[in-house]
Amino acid sequence: MDNDFEIVYELDTASFLEYDSGILSLSGLEKLTGIHQKQLWNYLHHKSVPRRKQVERIEQALHRFGSELQSISLYSEVVFWLFHHQLPSLFTHFRIQLNQVQPTAQTFMHVNSCDSLSNS
């Protein structure tokens, strides 16, 4: 017997909203889905039942949000400190003024690409 299996959670909209209320607020869900929080509140409290289109809209927004969360990479504060205190000479070498550079993912990729150029 194969030990691989997948658990799939299937919830109605009201059950999901109740389950998720400790994590995402109705205001947050409104921002994700574009559905007014009063309408989401109505779904949560069984005052109305969402149409299939609304259910799909909520589901797609949650999947999109989950994908965005999975794509996040956090860096250590040590890296941030090094960026501001130990790398100015690297930026001076490439004639980039440190006060114009913000510590973003693109900046770190730029530093890495400069390093690879200097090694070749």
Q: What is the pLDDT of residue 3?
A: 75
Distance, CA of 23 to CA of 20 (rounded, Å): 5
How far apart (Å, rounded) are the C-alpha atoms in residues 100 and 114? 17
**pLDDT score for 88:** 55
pLDDT in tens, 20-50: 888 889 999 999 999 999 999 999 999 999 9
User: In terms of DSSP H, where are the helices of 9-104?
Assistant: 13-20, 26-33, 37-44, 52-70, 77-85, 88-93
Model-level pTM? 0.56
pLDDT at residue 107 in the model: 47
pLDDT tens column, 46-83: 999 999 999 999 999 999 999 998 988 776 666 666 66
